[in-house]
Chains A and B, each alone.
Chain A
Amino acid sequence: MKLYVIILSLVLQGYFWAPCVQASEADLEWKEAVGLAKQGEYDFAFMNFKMIADEYPASHYGLKADFAQGEYYFLQNNLQMASIAFKDFYSKYPQHEEALIALAYLFEIAQIQNHPNEMKEYRNKAANFHQLVFIFNDNKSFKFLSGFQRKHKLVCYINKVELYVNGKLFTEVPF
């Protein structure tokens, strides 16, 4: 009986131990990536974010690392790659509020590239993202700090979505 208890406890320890090890490794990678981003070493930070996304997709930092890849390409003005990365992000996390931020990025990219059909597509997706009811309020907001340490604030109105980055209006998606 005792033997069974010992074996079971060992199995359980092993089961919980592996993610803990993984989590700590992802945590270290994340801290390093954020540190590099703060120093302005965006390329090296991107390499770390990509590694987190590839190696630890299920970790707490998986979503942020995925977002950071789109953000990196956007900051590098590589709009084509940024568009691909944000599209992947949107399809991977459709139920998360960050997906609406990705849509706002995609709308802005389509606007810069002067692609009216894509603008329309992302506008429709943004309009369908929530069903909002305002009785005494007239907007709802959501904050998100990205891997590159840029403060994102999403403000949803009944007929538009505004995205602020570091306190400045980044884009407006009217519908």
Chain B
Amino acid sequence: MLTGNYLQRFLFRWKYAIVIILIIAAMLTAFSFQINRWIPEYALSFSNLIAQEFQTKITFRTVRYRFPNHLIFKNVKVLEANGKNTMLQASRVTLGFYFSWFSSMPIFNETLINDMVIDLPIFKNYLTLHGKKTCAWAKTFPRGKMRLLIPNGQFYPKGCCKAKSIPFEIDLSLDQNHLNTHGSWGDQDRFNYELYGDIHDSGFDVSKLTLEDGRSSMNLWGSWHNNDIYWKGFIFYNKFYILDIDGHLKIQKNDISLKQMSFSIDGNAVTARGDCLKLNLSECDADIALNNSKLHLHAQNSPQGPLLKGSLDLQGAHIDFKNLKALIINGNSLKLKIKQTQSTFSIHGNEHMISLESLLVSINFSNPDQKDIALSAKMRTGDVDGHVILNTSSLPWQIKGQGKFKDIDMYFLSSNFSSFKQCHGLLSGNFKLQTSKNIELTGNLTLHHGDFKGSDFQAWMAKTLQMPTLNHISSADLSGHFKINGSSKMLDNLRLETDNLDLNGFFHLDADDLVSSKLSIRFSKKLLGESPTGRDIIGLVHGAWTLPFEFSLSGNLYRMNFQWNNSPLKNKVRQHMFSFIQKMIDQHMDDYTTPTSGETSYKVTAPNESVSPG
């Protein structure tokens, strides 16, 4: 009996429990059924509202509710307002939500977007047009904990399916005002990033922004409040340490102004500042100072595209350039087209100037340690072509280059070398350039139809040899091998041919303008006859004009010492001339050059006389 009662009571309780469970299940099923019926309608109307507000179109294939607080959208697309181009799409968007007592709307606190695809050009275009409005709307969201996860997104930098996509990941958490995000982008060259900051009404503070790949890393911190962006930090990039970064950017309605920017790169201080009027970069000025170098850039928009002009001050050299156009190709090659450059530089206090026109420069920087530079330009009547390899793996940068020049009129070099002021002739040749401790420039040059007039060297030759014709040499062909090493200059295998003379030899000039030269000159009979000494020589030696004079030059460039070296011609002259006449000639030459006003006169000694030390 007792057992029967117990069983009856037990079954009674279970019956109630099952009924309650069934009722709850039915209610949940009804709720779920109802919510899944109601949610698509709500989501559709809500997305239409958003789309209308922000000039977009949002579509999705299905939306369903997942217990307890998740909505799952499938095949979501955000299109431009015209409905043709897709900005964003995702295979699945999961939204976590909860209801608050203080809000009539559900609050979304978790978003997971799977397989997100961004068409970057369209998205950028949209943000340019509606970015401000979107940000203002985002600010109206209730503040709380929020998390956004995009585990396997990808974006197309040049438009959807036009080029290879770049994968990215985002994990963003927002707790009240504190923002914390990290993730990555890139496939082979993968960058990881990390950002910590605080959002305020006037902007935000970034306490840490880190970007790093296998070779480089960047650490920045700063703030963006109202119109002012400040940042500081350091970067390790490709063996270079960029330290003490300190920048200030001011953004105004039509103006972006880089108030100041400074950093040091491997111990070299760099400072920059600039102004951009109007956001479309219609005008921009920038000054960059690197140690003793200063670069000033002025950019201006024109119907032909942006034009750049500026100047570079580099260790005593000043380069002005106009109408610079720049184009970056595939991220590893820079093309520069400069209509006109004018470089002025100083060597030993003398001002020099080189003007180049239609300068075309190609810089290939695919190899981070080596820049490959090809350039060509017009130089008045002629052309210059060159190829330079710049090794940037260590400081100071190493330069190796070679090139050629053709048909450059010497007259146009007169601003560089005052000696060429009244000289003409077409100069051609080739050169090699190398910098190590010093700059070394070597090459060959030829000059055709040269016309030399009024150079210091000619004046000196004409005076010393007493041949006035040498003041003006015409129809000359010149060739030689030149070498400039640091401040010393050498001209070897020198050959000068005219109707009146045939010259061979070398001419070296050291850093202190001291000359070392040996020249062999054969004068025509007419030219030799101009000089009183020459006339004497013609009278003494039969066919003297067929034999070369051997000369040595030495001492200061501007008042060179001169010696007639021993040679068959000199020996023949000696044989026919009394010793006292030789001494008279020497005395005459002494008087001819400017003697010092010493109190004691010199005693001259013939080469065959030994110098007695006593």
Q: Could you give 13 example pairs across A and B, Cβ below 8 Å?
A: A120-B512, A127-B554, A128-B559, A130-B596, A131-B555, A131-B593, A134-B564, A134-B586, A135-B586, A138-B605, A141-B603, A141-B611, A142-B602
Closest residue of chain A to B601 (Cβ to Cβ) is A142
Flag whether B614 is at the interface (Cβ < 8 A). Answer: yes
Interface contact tally, CB-CB below 8 A: 124
Flag whether B599 is at the interface (Cβ < 8 A). Answer: yes
Minimal beta-carbon separation of B314 from chain A (angstroms): 27
- Among candidates A95, A124, A140, residue contacting B605 with C-beta atoms closer than 8 Å: A140
CB 8 Å contact bits of B547-564 with A (1 = contact, 0 = none): 000001011100111111
B interface residue numbers (CB < 8 A to A): 464, 512, 514, 516, 533, 552, 554-556, 559-564, 570, 574, 582-583, 585-586, 589-590, 592-594, 596-600, 602-607, 611, 613-614
CB 8 Å contact bits of A132-175 with B (1 = contact, 0 = none): 11111111111110000001010110110010100111000001
Is B602 a contact partner of A169 (Cβ separation < 8 A)? no
- Report how far A95 CA is from B611 CA in the complex, Å: 24
Is B585 a contact partner of A153 (Cβ separation < 8 A)? no
Q: Which residues of A lie under 8 Å from residue B561 when comparing CB positions? A: 130-134, 158-159
- Report how far A96 CA is from B598 CA in the complex, Å: 4
- Report how far A127 CA is from B510 CA in the complex, Å: 12
Contacts beyond the supplied A120-B512, A134-B563, A141-B604: 9 A-B pairs with Cβ under 8 Å = A127-B512, A127-B514, A135-B582, A138-B606, A143-B603, A155-B611, A158-B563, A159-B555, A168-B613
Q: Which residues of A lie under 8 Å from residue B582 when comparing CB positions? A: 135-136
- Among candidates B554, B562, B597, residue contacting A95 with C-beta atoms closer than 8 Å: B597
Flag whether A42 is at the interface (Cβ < 8 A). Answer: no
- Among candidates B516, B533, B594, residue contacting A131 with C-beta atoms closer than 8 Å: B594
Minimal beta-carbon separation of A107 from chain B (angstroms): 14
Is A136 a contact partner of B574 (Cβ separation < 8 A)? yes
Q: Which 7 A-B pairs have the closest CB atoms?
A: A138-B607, A136-B582, A159-B554, A140-B602, A134-B563, A131-B559, A164-B613
Q: Which residues of A lie under 8 Å from residue B593 when comparing CB positions? A: 131-133
Q: Which residues of A lie under 8 Å from residue B614 when comparing CB positions? A: 151, 153, 164, 167
Closest residue of chain A to B603 (Cβ to Cβ) is A141
Closest residue of chain A to B554 (Cβ to Cβ) is A159
Is B556 a contact partner of A140 (Cβ separation < 8 A)? no
Flag whether A88 is at the interface (Cβ < 8 A). Answer: no
Is B603 a contact partner of A133 (Cβ separation < 8 A)? no
Which residues, 19 to 40 on A, are CB-close (under 8 Å) to B? none
Is A136 a contact partner of B606 (Cβ separation < 8 A)? yes
Minimal beta-carbon separation of A26 from chain B (angstroms): 17
Minimal beta-carbon separation of B505 from chain A (angstroms): 15
Q: Which residues of B lie under 8 Å from residue A124 when comparing CB positions? A: 512, 514
Q: Which residues of A lie under 8 Å from residue B592 when comparing CB positions? A: 133
Minimal beta-carbon separation of A61 from chain B (angstroms): 13
CB 8 Å contact bits of A118-130 with B (1 = contact, 0 = none): 0010001001111
